[in-house]
Each structure stands twice: as C-alpha cells, then as structure tokens.
Structure 1
Amino acid sequence: MQQSTLAWLGGCDVVYLVFCLGVSAYTISHVLAKSADKWPVLNPTGFEVIGIKGRVEFAKAAGNLIEKGRQMFPQQPYHMITDTCDLLILPPKFAEGIRNNPDLNFIGSIVEDFHATIPGFEPFRDGREDELTKTVVKKQLTKLLNQVTEPLSVEADFALRHHFGTSTGEDRQKVEGIRVFEEILDVVARISTKVFFGSELCRNEECLKITKNYTVDSFIAAYILRIFPKPLRHIAHWFLPQCQTIRQQFAESKKLIMPVIQARRTLRRRMQVEGIPTPDFNDAIDWFDHEGKGEPYDEASCQLGLSMAAIHTTTDLLIETMQNIMLHPELVEYLRKEIFQVLGAEGWKKTSLYNLKLVDSVVKESQRLRLSAMSMLPAIPEELP
C-alpha cells in the first residue's frame, strides 16, 4: 500500500499538488473562520475565497446594501463584503466610543485600502510615520484659516470667471452646455492648489492637470487593483495601465513641486544669514517644512496627498450641495440674500464663514445625506489578533 502511494505521488506534478493542497487548506480555514464568527454576514459569498463576486456586487449596489444592513441589523454589528475587504460594521451608537480609540488607526485603513506601499500610490500614506500631514492640518491650516480666506476668495473668483464667465450673453450659452463634474473638479483644483502649492504653481496648467487627474485616476487604479488578491497586487500593478498612469503622474508632480520647495528653502537660508525676516507664504509648502522641523519627509507625497484629499471630498460635497439646491429652488432667494448681507457688510473674513448660517446649514445637510457619510468610518486595529 505504501509503495503504491509513493508511486502515485511520484507520477504527479508536485507543484500542482502543493498548489491544490494549499488552496484547499486556505479555503477550509477561511470557511471555518467565518463560521466561528458570531456576527452575521450581510452579503455572504459562500465558498468563494478570493471574494471577487462580493466586491463587484458592492461596487454595483453599495447604496442598496448599506440600506439593507441598516434595516436588517439596526442595533448590532454585522459583516459586509465591500470592494476593499470584509468589514465589520458597527451601529451608530458605537461611533463616539471608537472615534478616539488609540487602538484603531484611520490612516492604517487608508494605507491598506489604497495600496499606499505600492509605487504610484505614495500620496495615500502620510509622508512620515509621525502623521505629519495630520499635524499640518490641525496646527497650521485650521489656525491660519483667517489668513487664507481672502486669497482663496480671489482665486475662486478667478476660477469661476475662467470656467463659467458671467451671467450674460455668450457666457450664458457657455454655462448651459457645460459638464458639471469636470468644471467643478477643475474649479476646486484651482482653489485648493492656491493654498497647498502656493502662488508659484496655483495657475500652472500642468500642475493643475496632474493634481486633478491624479485625484480621479488614483481612485480608479486603486479600485481595479483591489480585484486582485493581496499577494498578487505587488506584481499586478506593474502591468496595469491605470497604475502605470498614476506612477507617471506622481513622477511628474515631483518634477514640478520639488524645485519650488528647494527654492523656498534656499531663500529662507539666505535671508536668515543676512538677518532679514523670512516671508510668510501661508501655504502648505511652508507649513510642512515648519512642522517637519528639519527632519526628512516625502515632500511630494505630502503635498499631493493633502491636495488630493481636499479636491476629492470638496468636489463631491459641492456637487451634492448644488444638486440639493436644484431640487429645492425655493432656497436660492434666501441663500443669495444671506450671502449679500454678510459679505456686503464684512467682506471675506473668517468671521464671515460663521455668519453664513443658512449656507452652512444647507452644506451640512447635504453632507449628512451623502451616501459616503451614511456608510462607515473605516479603521483597522494597530495589532491584529
């Protein structure tokens, strides 16, 4: 019996046998792990291990799945297979408890979902392990909001006139034939680039093109790469056209950003030697260098990552808000009246933003109703069990 078994093994393709045994073992462990979990699965995939079916179904009908989960499991955790992974969804009552939990890492979930360790996706990781970008946003952007409000309003005026013109004559015909998403994306990119990349690059068409396109293309590339099992992603990305595109865009962004950063640093050193006060540029280039405290960090990743995050979320929210106003045209007169009253009396200041109460309410309600706001707050444990 033993000899016949050895003879049979000797006649088989050893590699194929090992592969089959490995897949079988993984499948069994995968199924057993799922069966041992006490929380229900909203959209089970059966014996499918890779989970492509579940990811595709989520991509096609995410809104329906989220609503289904809210109805079926309103007060208990449950699993949902998404386009990124198998997520454990917690009821809203747990939100406050996990929001500041040090054992949950929001940045870690971004790194995981958007392949930040793969070339081309570097902007999805914080340019340094000490979360430098988070520090810049908290300590610089928020603090200096009053100083950047007016420059942003000037750039917004330029961007709106550049894309939409005025409300009369030929410009009105131009507005009636626009593609809203593309135009709003471009406007938001121009305004964001002003405060992030500074005056040197805010109207550089090549920089605007890269910033805008990377924001869209990187999400597409990340989605396509998620179709592949994790062990294969570090190989597959070299051959995917979408990943090749964002690698090229990131390389080109470095060529544009780094000379400006180096010129700023050279100017600052020279002025310090000469005893001349260094100017405040009030943009992210200076903020990162200030908070970096002389320690190395990935400048291009930080700059492009911060800009990308702002462009993606702002464009999404602005379009959603505009759509809601179109659905409720009775709001237009009241919104205009408030804007004229506040800006006519104060101009563009930080306090003006606080006094635009109706505008703020409309934006916040649109944000509340957004599908992405309904879904989830992603985070991963610092240490997996």
Structure 2
Amino acid sequence: MSTSTLSAILAFGVAVAAYCFLAPANTANVPRIGPKPSFLGNTSKSFFSKHSLQLLEEGYAKYRDGLYSLWTTDMDRVIVSPLFMKDFMSLPRSVVRLTASIRHAGPYTGMDIPAYEEIVYALNKKLEGMQSSQGGFKVAVFPQMIELVTCASARVFVGPELCRNPDWLATATGYTLDVAKVTTDLNRYYRIFHPFIAPFLKSRQQIKTRFTLAKKLLAPLIESRRSKANPPSPDMIQWLVDTATGSDATTDNIVRRMLFLNMAAIHTTAEVLTHNIFELCERSETLQMLREEMLEALPENSSVRLTTLNSDLKKTDSFIKESHRLNPLGFMTFNRHLVAPVRLHNGVTLPANTYISINHYSRQRDPDVYPEPLLFDALRFYRLRQQSGESEQHQFASISSTEPWWGVGKFACPGRQWASAQVKLVLMAVLLGFDIGFPEGQSKKPERVVQAEKLRTSFTQQIILKRRER
C-alpha cells in the first residue's frame, strides 16, 4: 500500500473518529428550526452564520415557551425557554457543565476601589502624547475601553506591583485579543479539523508567546506571595496562591488561570462599555442626568467605595442594563453541556451530550416582557426598583430566571458584580473628566453586524474627548 493511500485512509479514520466524538445527541423528539447537522459540521460561512437571526426569531415565534433544535456554527444545540431553568437548578454542575465560564472569580472584596485611580491614571496617560482634534482628543472607543478595563482589572488581579507595568498590561490585553482571533480563525474550517489546524495558526503561536512573557512577569510575584514574607494582599493572585491545591498550585497553572481570568474580565466588559459610550454620545440628555448623579454620589476629593457604586448610582445602573438589553453581545446565553440525560417538566428527556442555550435576544425585544421593547428608556429599571419591595431587584448584576443574562442560581456568573463595578468606574472616569461626542457630522451610533451567534459593533468608531472642570 502506497504512503499516499495510507495517509488518506488515516485521515479518513481520524475524521470519522472526530465526527463520532463531536456528533450531536439524538434529540429527534425536539422540533427543529433550519437544516439538520451534516457530516462535516459548520463553518463561519455556513447557512446558520448567514441566517442566524432569522432562524432564532423563527424559533422564538414558534416555540417561545418551549424548546427546539438549532444547528449553530460550533455545535447542534437545543434552545430552551427560561421557563425550563427550574429543571436545571436542582442538578449538580457535574451534569450541567459550562461550555465557557469563570470558575475561579475570587472574592469581590470591600476595597476603596483603587481601580478607579488606575482608570483615571491610564486615561490621562493615554492622552498625554496625543494632539487635540476638533477641540479635544479623538480616540477609538473599543481599543480605549480595552485599555481602561485592563488597567482596572490589573489593580485588582495582580496588585500594585504589576498593575502599571506596560509589559503586563500589553500581555493581558494581547492575550484577550489573541484568543478571540484563534476562535475567528478556527471557525473558517469544519470543526472536525480544528485539532489539526490549531497548532499551525499564527494566532495560536502568539498565545504561546504571551504565556511565556506572562510567566516571566508573574513567577517572581507568585513566589513572593508564597513566601508570606509580607502581609497577604487583597488581590486575585494572592487568592489563587492561597486556595490552589494539587496541580492547580503549580506556577504554570496559576499563570494560565490568571490569563484566563483577564480574558473573561476584559473583552466582554469592554464591549458593554463601548455600547454605553455610543448610547451616551447619541443621548446628551441621558449623559447629563448620569453625570449629575455621579457628582452627587462622589463629592470632590472623596474616594470611590462600593456603597457609591451599589447604592448611589441607581440611574446609572438602570442605563447600563437598558443599554445591554438592546445591545447584547450575542443572541444566546446559558450555554451548557449536559453530560447525563435530563428530564424536563414537559415530559421531554434531553439525552446526554446535548448542548443547550437560551435565546435572550428575542426575549429582550418581546413586548409581552418589556413594554415598548424597542424604545431606549434609560430609567426603565430605575422605575421598577422604586416599586415596593423591589429596591434590590432589577439591577444590572441581578440574576433572575426570567432574565438569565448572567445565568441563574449556582450557574450564575460569579464575576458579575465586579463586571458591573468596572463598567460604572470607567463611566465615572470618562463622564466626570470629559465631555464626549461623536466626530463632527455624526449623530448616530454605528450599525451592528450579525456574525453567527454574535452581534459585532464597530471596533474602529471614534469619539471626541474634551477635558472639563468638575
């Protein structure tokens, strides 16, 4: 047998084995929207990628309170209504596994929010060498939000030793963007070929380079924290060193976890902030209302405390949540993998190896859920909190079975409070320090683009920052 024939047989065998491993569960008892899975799978040029929004809206219209199968870019899923959340709440995490999560978010501590000072410092440092344009500084919003969130995270994650280190900041930011690039690169190919393609991707090689530099920077800090020569620091790396056991306690694994936590904390928060800034540039009256609330909550020369963020910025919190309601980062949430059969309250049993998701995009635009759902109402959730017994509900970081943006119960994102705090801190630094607006001639935010399960916003849109006196 020739070498080429043997190689062809081997490649076919690997492909068949990969397909058997990745094959979707048998959910024949669940109605389907769109085409059935094929042998090879999907790519970023697939039918779903081009028609994802139409398929999800069709599914919501037909099975709003039920469930249906949908073949997405990376897997076949069962889209479930939030009404089924009660069926999953009693199950252990070993059965309902997270497909992407922050398992080790660490404590959300009661610090004086030194991250706020880091954000102000980073923003002013960024503008030092820039020339003014249209009476201010022209900056691209998303890259700037990435930098500010990275700085805020660095102060809480790696403490004062590294939080302003340019090599660490560049590594944390770059790793986040490289991981997103790997995902984009892989989605061009059928999933069964991903294990063979990934090692050769330039973006994958870049991740390895980032890890090497991250280890060089973090290893001395990890050893210092292990030595306990100094009092424990209230930051993430101290928590990881103190709590990690077994193989998790190795320096390599602590570095990997720190990079993963940065990735989880930075990219999505920066996108949320980007939409917040776009909405404020389009709505000057809302901007002024939030600035007045911030000024009242933060008297001059006072420090930012958790009580400021949690209790004194209710209108700001409502605005953030309304912006996220109408500008979600994707169409689906609660992405989970069932490793054992699960029987639902409607009598349907989902077999092992089923992937589930919730279509929250359509629900957030449902007039039966939100009156006038397409109207941007900055105080929508603020008014709900004014109702008797609701003062602690309807917050951006709240979890609810009817609003499962963050997950629900024990499956909720443990980093949601920190994400909410970061968004408020950055908005305070920007609004109290600057007047903001779109460049001359622009009054509307850029249109978003559908890309499979995601809604992409402009990563190049610029705004004008003009310094202001408090």
- Residue 198 of structure 1 is matched in structure 2 by 159
- Residue 296 of structure 1 is matched in structure 2 by 249
Q: CA deviation at 1:45?
A: 4.8
C-alpha RMSD over aligned residues: 3.6
Secondary structure of residue in 2 paired with 1:89: strand
Q: Return closer, same or farther for 1:165/1:338 CA change in 2, 3 Å cut-off.
A: farther
- Residue 306 of structure 2 is matched in structure 1 by 350
Q: Return closer, same or farther for 1:44/1:284 CA change in 2, 3 Å cut-off.
A: same
Secondary structure of residue in 1 paired with 2:334: coil
Distance 1:312 1:208 in 2: 14
Distance 2:47 2:160 in 1: 44
Distance 1:80 1:333 in 2: 44
- Residue 245 of structure 1 is matched in structure 2 by 206
Residue 332 of structure 2 is aligned to residue 368 of structure 1: no
- Picking from 59, 68, 75, the partner of 1:78 is 68
Residue 37 of structure 2 is aligned to residue 43 of structure 1: no
Given that residues 43 and 54 in structure 1 are in contact (C-alpha distance below 8 angstroms), is that contact kept between their aligned partners in structure 2? no
Distance 1:283 1:201 in 2: 12
Residue 335 of structure 2 is aligned to residue 378 of structure 1: yes
- Residue 5 of structure 1 is matched in structure 2 by none
Distance 1:175 1:64 in 2: 42
Given that residues 32 and 69 in structure 2 are in contact (C-alpha distance below 8 angstroms), is that contact kept between their aligned partners in structure 1? yes
Q: CA deviation at 1:218?
A: 0.5
Q: Return closer, same or farther for 1:109/1:293 CA change in 2, 3 Å cut-off.
A: closer
Distance 2:158 2:326 in 1: 32
Q: CA deviation at 1:233?
A: 2.8
* Aligned residue runs from structure 1 range 208-223, under 5 A: 208-223=169-184
Q: CA deviation at 1:367?
A: 2.2
Distance 2:48 2:325 in 1: 21
Secondary structure of residue in 1 paired with 2:168: helix
Distance 2:180 2:47 in 1: 18
Distance 2:295 2:279 in 1: 21
Distance 1:108 1:79 in 2: 19
Amino acid at match of 1:283: D
Distance 2:128 2:56 in 1: 40
Q: Return closer, same or farther for 1:14/1:211 CA change in 2, 3 Å cut-off.
A: closer
Q: Return closer, same or farther for 1:265/1:334 CA change in 2, 3 Å cut-off.
A: same
TM-score computed with the length of structure 2 as normaliser: 0.62
- Picking from 282, 305, 310, the partner of 2:265 is 310
Secondary structure of residue in 1 paired with 2:200: coil
Given that residues 154 and 163 in structure 2 are in contact (C-alpha distance below 8 angstroms), is that contact kept between their aligned partners in structure 1? yes
- Residue 330 of structure 1 is matched in structure 2 by 285
Percent of residue pairs identical = 25
Distance 1:160 1:228 in 2: 39
Distance 2:275 2:255 in 1: 30
* Aligned residue runs from structure 1 range 121-160, under 5 A: 131=103, 133-134=104-105, 136=106, 140=107, 142=108, 144=109, 146-149=110-113, 151-160=114-123
- Residue 42 of structure 2 is matched in structure 1 by 52
Residue 59 of structure 2 is aligned to residue 69 of structure 1: yes
Distance 2:203 2:319 in 1: 36
- Residue 102 of structure 1 is matched in structure 2 by 92
Distance 1:373 1:53 in 2: 17
Given that residues 181 and 203 in structure 2 are in contact (C-alpha distance below 8 angstroms), is that contact kept between their aligned partners in structure 1? yes
Distance 1:195 1:24 in 2: 46
Relative to its length, the structure with more strand (as a share) is: 2
Q: CA deviation at 1:230?
A: 5.0
Amino acid at match of 1:285: I
Q: CA deviation at 1:224?
A: 2.5
Q: CA deviation at 1:100?
A: 5.8
Given that residues 190 and 202 in structure 1 are in contact (C-alpha distance below 8 angstroms), is that contact kept between their aligned partners in structure 2? yes
Structure number with the bigger relative contact order (C-alpha 8 A, sep ≥ 6) is 2
Query: 1:31-90, CA deviations, whole angstroms, 9 ceiling, x for partnerless residues?
Result: 9976x61223323157x3112357634445544443333223322211222222111110
Secondary structure of residue in 1 paired with 2:33: coil
Given that residues 155 and 191 in structure 1 are in contact (C-alpha distance below 8 angstroms), is that contact kept between their aligned partners in structure 2? yes
Consecutive unaligned residues of structure 1, counting only runs of 5 or more, are 1-12, 111-123, 272-277
Q: CA deviation at 1:19?
A: 8.0
Q: Return closer, same or farther for 1:371/1:79 CA change in 2, 3 Å cut-off.
A: farther
Consecutive unaligned residues of structure 2, counting only runs of 5 or more, are 341-351, 354-470
